[in-house]
Amino acid sequence: MVGTNTADDAGVYQVGPDLALVQTVDLLTPVVPDPYTFGQIAAANSLSDVYAMAGEPLTALNIIGYPAAGRKDWLLAILRGALDKVSEAGACVVGGHTFNDPEIKFGLAVTGLIDPLRIVTNDRARPGDKLVLTKPLGSGTLSQALMTIDDIPAGLLGEGIESMKMLNRKAARAMVEAGVQSATDITGFGLIGHLQEMALASGVAARLWLHSMPILPGVLELVEQGVHNPGIAMNEASFAHAVKCGFCSPDREPAARDKALLNVLYESQTSGGLLIAVKDDRIRQLQTMLQDDRMSAPVIGEVVAGPAGAVLLEA
């Protein structure tokens, strides 16, 4: 039912009149120093692709690359963190595969269940839909700061780590109740990249309001201090050709804060939120269902008619 042609978050295969499987796989290198927390974040990140399609995770397989001489207690902590997060999702770990690798890599292959009549895909956004984002941006900057700054304040990391650990389960269920047809989750390609994929698959354009973006505390200050997520360059090279900056001009650089915001829109996110295209009359219902789960779900833009895949940034 869903394959690779629209670059969607997961594949969907129908097995009966009212039942389909949704399948995905994802891996991460460590984004935090604590192995248990890393396991939780990597699991939430892998499970997110199932939630982006409005599925419910059923089983998971661990996939882990780990140095043969590495600390075994760290390996066990990663697996325990993932197990706890998969259990929180109501699914179960049924096995996996471990291989020798000089760099730690961990993630899950996830199988979920989905109603064939209620699949949410990335190719059904329509002009007039508003764009809602369920988690703040900035996890890429925070992860980079952890690797490059020795004395980063612990308080700066707390909200970001909690956001990365949070499942998108409630957002997925809220989408179904609100009749949402199109969504995607924000991960490696950043907000710009994943939005562009959605717009291209849907045959529409999109408008983003730069100053409506939810950003994790302290992230913009870190960017202004020179913390630069490596995913920014990759995503700019891949997606900037279709982006038009409505407040930029050839003879003027954006203000420092606007430039920092632009970087965050391009940076790779880890276990980010769902970007949801929702009809105007369903926004309040969606936001009400999420407001008690630390998901403010602000409206950050809208779907418009225009060249497929085009993204207009406005201040």
CATH code (residue 205):
3.90.650.10
- Number of domains making up the chain: 2
Average of pLDDT values for 30-59?
A: 96
Average of pLDDT values for 261-288?
A: 93
Strand boundaries in 196-298, DSSP class E: 205-209, 243-245, 274-278
- Check which CATH number belongs to the domain holding 90 and give it: 3.30.1330.10
Average of pLDDT values for 245-252?
A: 69
pLDDT value, residue 209? 94
Q: Is the domain of 171 the same as that of 310?
A: yes
Q: Is the domain of 142 the same as that of 289?
A: yes
Kindly report, residue by residue over 128-155, the tens digit of the pLDDT: 999 999 999 999 999 888 877 767 766 6
Which residues form the domain of 59? 1-119
Unique residue bearing structure tokens 């965050």: 264
Q: Provide CB contacts within 8 A for 106, sequence distance 6+.
A: 27, 28, 38, 39, 42, 62, 63, 64, 65, 78, 82
Q: Is the domain of 285 the same as that of 179?
A: yes
pLDDT value, residue 207? 96
Burial group, residue 137, by CB count within 10 angstroms (0-12, 13-18, 19+): buried
Q: Is the domain of 147 the same as that of 54?
A: no
Q: Is the domain of 169 the same as that of 95?
A: no
Q: Is the domain of 305 the same as that of 179?
A: yes
Q: Band of the pLDDT at 255, cuts 50, 70, 90?
A: confident
Q: What is the pTM of this model?
A: 0.93
Are 52 and 184 in contact by the 8 Å Cβ rule? The answer is yes
Find, among 162, 201, 167, 161, the residue nearest to 181 by Cα: 201
Kindly report, residue by residue over 173-201, the tens digit of the pLDDT: 999 999 999 999 999 999 999 999 999 99
pLDDT above 80: residue 248: no
Q: Is the domain of 131 the same as that of 151?
A: yes
Q: Is the domain of 33 the same as that of 80?
A: yes
Find, among 163, 157, 124, the residue nearest to 269 by Cα: 163
Between CA 145 and CA 223 the distance in angstroms is 9
Last residue of one domain, picked from the residues 119, 148, 167: 119
Q: Is the domain of 107 the same as that of 132?
A: no
Between CA 145 and CA 148 the distance in angstroms is 5
Last residue of one domain, picked from the residues 119, 150, 166: 119
Q: Is the domain of 24 the same as that of 60?
A: yes
Kindly report, residue by residue over 72-108, the tens digit of the pLDDT: 999 999 999 999 999 999 999 999 999 999 999 999 9
Last residue of one domain, picked from the residues 74, 103, 119: 119
3-state DSSP call for residue 294?
coil
Q: Is the domain of 111 the same as that of 133?
A: no
Q: Is the domain of 98 the same as that of 136?
A: no
